[in-house]
A = this chain, B = another copy of it.
Amino acid sequence: MFELDPCLEQDSVFIIDLPLCQLRMENDQRFPWLLLIPRQQGLVEVTELSAAQQQQLIQESCRVSNALKKLTGCKKINVASLGNVVAQLHWHVVARFESDAAWPGPVWGAGEAQPWNEKERDEFIAALLHQLNLSAP
């Protein structure tokens, strides 16, 4: 059974379940920032996934990266798995702009999150799902 870490649950919103990962969005409107969380209990490192799951992870990461880049027109996509604070394996896909609040530094630990306006967030998620050719669950 898959249980989401309470910190991840609190700081991000559910978008959709992909074949391997739950796709979520960080509730921080400074950065278009997605999370991929493999839906398997007890994972910490990418290396703990099977070889097939590792391949699925990079495939879902690239699928989401392409959609996010098309949707936002960002300068750069940042992808990462850190897990120094929250142990449960989670994979970041972040759209970066030269004008954003942390450029060119990393987004982790950079200032305080600014929660999305709920309507704008829902519109962003709807547009992302459209880019992914997926329907809202």
Q: Which residues on A are within 8 Å of B, measured CB to CB?
A: 44-47, 51, 54-55, 57-59, 61-62, 65-66, 69, 75-85, 96, 103-106, 108-109
Asked if B76 and A104 make an inter-chain contact with CB atoms under 8 angstroms apart, the answer reads no
Q: How many monomers of this protein are in the complex?
A: 2
CB-defined contacts of A47 to chain B, threshold 8 Å: 62, 65-66, 69, 77
Asked if A104 and B84 make an inter-chain contact with CB atoms under 8 angstroms apart, the answer reads yes
Q: B46, B54, B108: which contacts A105 (Cβ < 8 A)?
A: B108
Asked if B51 and A59 make an inter-chain contact with CB atoms under 8 angstroms apart, the answer reads yes
A94 smallest CB distance to B (angstroms): 9
Name 16 A/B residue pairs within 8 A (Cβ), A-sorted: A44-B76, A45-B77, A46-B62, A46-B65, A47-B65, A51-B59, A57-B58, A76-B84, A78-B81, A78-B84, A79-B80, A79-B81, A80-B82, A82-B106, A84-B104, A84-B105
